[in-house]
């Protein structure tokens, strides 16, 4: 049987040449020859009518008092674009990276474990360096990496591995968004129970874990205090937090039942 084809994609702004060069050097060192750039959408290039981009301002304002920044909208669109690029290819799997990703030394071994030996998952979060990790199964005790469930699943979208089935579903759902890319991806994975795991030790590290070099908010606007939520916005937000907590518990239970090793 032929080995599965894996497409490696990195989301990168055309002007961010230093980041692009750095990640290609890393890929070359690991022998990854099919890393391709997905030109990121720039916030300053967005049309006046943001609804045409898929941004749902009305849904955003149900729980938040402040809209997403243009660069945050563009980031969500860039992840959607990367999913589309994968679906237009003939690959079986896609690793989708942000351009500040750092490959762990055991990256190749971890990817092989996922695509060749572990079954039952459709999405694997490759960055799991922050927060608590819950064990899922003991079937992989002798494997180079372990499947886990990250408590902070919705945070940080610097590296994901997708099957075609998951990418098709997520690409359709991402036609509408109102949260930052990482939170929106995490929400859809949990809400729709798309079989998702994390990896320990993580296969990707973030070159900017504290967002000190983030290009999403160069003026510091997001860090400024937002208008106070109305009572209805607060209640809607809290309901969303509770749904996410339930979704995490459901996902952990689902993956404990689904995962097996070839």
Q: What is the pLDDT of residues 230-242, one digit of tens each?
A: 999 999 999 999 9
The encoded tokens of residue 32 equal 């990854």
Q: What is the pLDDT of residues 137-167, one digit of tens each?
A: 877 777 888 999 999 999 999 999 999 999 9
Q: Which of 52, 54, 41, 51 is nearest to 175 (CA)?
A: 54
Query: Model pTM?
Result: 0.93
What CA–CA distance (Å, rounded) separates 120 from 105? 25
Q: What is the pLDDT of residues 165-217, one digit of tens each?
A: 999 999 999 999 999 999 999 999 999 999 999 999 999 987 766 665 666 66
């Amino acid at each position: 049987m032929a080995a599965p084809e894996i497409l490696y994609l990195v989301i990168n702004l055309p002007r961010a040449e230093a980041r692009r060069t750095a990640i290609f050097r890393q890929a070359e060192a690991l022998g990854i020859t099919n890393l391709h750039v997905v030109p990121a959408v720039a916030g300053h290039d967005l049309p006046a009518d943001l609804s045409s981009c898929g941004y749902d301002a009305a849904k955003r304002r149900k729980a938040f008092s402040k809209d997403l920044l243009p660069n945050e909208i563009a980031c969500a669109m860039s992840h959607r674009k990367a999913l589309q690029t994968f679906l237009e290819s003939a690959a079986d799997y896609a690793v989708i990276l942000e351009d500040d990703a750092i490959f762990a030394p055991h990256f190749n071994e971890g990817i092989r474990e996922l695509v060749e030996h572990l079954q039952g998952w459709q999405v694997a979060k490759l960055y799991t360096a922050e927060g608590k990790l819950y064990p899922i199964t003991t079937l992989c005790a002798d494997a180079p990496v372990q499947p886990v469930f990250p408590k902070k699943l919705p945070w940080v979208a610097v590296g994901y591995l997708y099957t075609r089935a998951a990418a098709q579903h997520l690409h359709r759902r991402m036609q509408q968004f109102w949260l930052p890319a990482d939170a929106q991806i995490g929400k859809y994975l949990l809400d729709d129970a798309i079989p998702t795991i994390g990896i320990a030790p993580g296969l990707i590290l973030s070159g900017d874990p504290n967002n000190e070099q983030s290009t999403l908010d160069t003026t510091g606007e997001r860090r400024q205090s937002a208008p106070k939520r109305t009572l209805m916005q607060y209640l809607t937000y809290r309901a969303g937090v509770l749904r996410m907590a339930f979704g995490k518990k459901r996902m952990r239970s689902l993956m404990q039942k689904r995962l097996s090793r070839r």
